[in-house]
Amino acid sequence: MRCAIYLRVSTNKEEQKSSLDNQRDLFYRYIGDKGWDVHEFYVDVETGTTDKRASLQRLISDAKQRKFDVILAKELSRLARNGKLSYEIRDIAQTNRIHIITLDDAVNTMEGRSENFGLYAWLYEQESQRTSERIKSSFASKARRGEFKGSIPPYGYNVVSGVLSLREDDTPIVVRRIFQLYLQGIGFDAIARTLTREGYQTPSQTVGKKNAGMYWNGSTIKLILTNPHYTGDLVQGRETTISVTVKTRDKVSLDEQIVIPNTHPAIISREQFQMVQDMMNGRKKKRPKCKKHLFTNVAFCADCGKSLWYIKHREGYVCGTHLKHGKHACGQHTIKEARLISIILDDIRELSRTLDETAVLIKIKATAEKERKIREKQVAELEKRIIRLKDSKNALIKKLVDGTVSDSDYQEYVATSNHEIQQLQAQVQQHRFSSQSNTQFDLERLKNEIQSFLKLDELTPEMLHQLVEKVEVQADGTPKIYYRFTTPT
């Protein structure tokens, strides 16, 4: 039996880390007694009430591909503390003939013990709901005592013993400047471009977030301008979750928020803060629904890879990164819509004319066949390497059970092997996708479709999306068009 072993703890605290180690030992003994093989360990450090867990999503994806025969968990609550999610996991397992076994013997579909599945799913969700209410109550009590309970302090502040204090850097100065610029009539995006151009770290970079963006955004500026903490007042409980299983947050009315005045140094005066709120309310207006233009989500910048935005007065497209963050982030990559339409229509007419030529047809077929053979050979080699790595992993579990290999050595080998396997599998998928999109097409059907399109006088969305995969626009405005039936031109 190929076992997918799911381990989960809620936090990174030391006692939780030891819980992960204990869970691993339980599974090693269980698998050793059964003589089964480890497919993979799926580990999450996250609450069980949500499905937004990277390893759980990977486990579900692998289950749909039937990569293993049984899911092992310490108890059902490790997989989910959400009744709906528990049933979804069960249904996916049943559909793909995969068993679920929990080490507490509450669930074992291999032995037919699943009659109380719904009861356990309900109990674990109710337990999470009660825990959530206790945590909310505890946070509210601490907030009323003037303690800051957010996970990350507002930009410009640190948290020392539960109290906000000014950072000893230029962030408080940046906050004041943001308010001043807005009061001068400068908008969110323009302020963001100014701070990016001048090299100030973003809030995410300041607190050291992983994958923090290097560009300021208008949405970040708006959050700072609407944060009442900058007046020196502690305002908490502004939003709340609907339930432990629904992560949508509702705004809390002002009279129900917890407001403790003068708990920390102010960066902005109350008068200045209120002036900004009044200006923002005065600027609010109903925006018409954005019109989707012909090359929306089709035309991209060749340098940064972002979508091109249609600009009405230019009658064409410009790089979205350039418009949002300025020329230091990326060039304009401008192209007129009419020019792009003309180029594509000319290409289609030319293709329609040359498709009748026998030499061209033979060349296309020969190229397609050559590419197919190359990709098949590459896929075969990649799959052999994947099988060798998986065999090595499966052999190592036996050495782990009898103590020949230490847990740390095993985990290091598994982590390295898993990373390499994932890379190889991604390459296999990429080769297969390329083969399907570039070599598997019906030339006669393509010719008939193009002939029908030529009866039209304009490039319609139907024509565009059937014939064009994407368009990349170079810095000088030259388009590189990726057709669905040939190589880029």
Using the structure block, give the residue that is written with the tokens 């009659």.
Answer: 115
In degrees rounded to 5, what are phi and psi of residue 199?
85, 15
Give the Cβ contact number of residue 364 at 10 Å: 16
Give the Cβ contact number of residue 405 at 10 Å: 15
Going from the C-alpha of 122 to that of each of 80, 90, 102, 133, 244, the distances in angstroms are 10, 14, 16, 17, 13
What are the residues facing 250 on neighbouring strands?
Answer: 240
* Diameter of the chain measured on Cα atoms: 84
Give the Cβ contact number of residue 169 at 10 Å: 12
Cβ neighbours of residue 437 closer than 8 Å, sequence gap 6 or more = 469, 484
E strands, 111-162, in order: 157-160
Q: Is residue 175 within 8 Å of residue 268, measured between CB atoms? A: yes
Q: Is residue 304 within 8 Å of residue 321, measured between CB atoms? A: yes
Q: Is residue 70 within 8 Å of residue 37, measured between CB atoms? A: no
Model pLDDT, residue 439: 46
Enter the DSSP assignment of 292: P
What region does 167 belong to: left with phi over 0, alpha with psi -120 to 50, or beta? beta
Residues 179, 199: Cα–Cα separation, whole Å: 18
For residue 449, the SS3 value is helix
Model pLDDT, residue 358: 55
- Tens digits of pLDDT across the chain (489 residues): 889 999 988 777 666 667 777 788 788 888 877 878 888 889 888 877 777 888 999 999 999 999 999 999 988 888 887 777 888 888 899 899 999 999 888 888 988 877 777 776 667 666 666 666 666 666 666 666 767 877 788 999 998 888 889 999 999 999 999 999 998 888 898 999 999 999 899 999 998 888 888 889 999 999 999 998 999 988 876 565 555 444 555 566 666 677 788 889 999 999 999 989 888 887 665 444 445 688 888 899 998 888 899 988 888 999 988 888 888 888 889 999 999 988 988 887 777 666 555 555 566 667 667 777 888 888 889 889 888 888 887 777 767 766 777 767 776 777 788 788 888 888 888 777 666 555 444 556 556 665 665 555 677 777 787 678 889 999 999 999 988 665 444
62: tokens are 């692998």
Model pLDDT, residue 334: 92
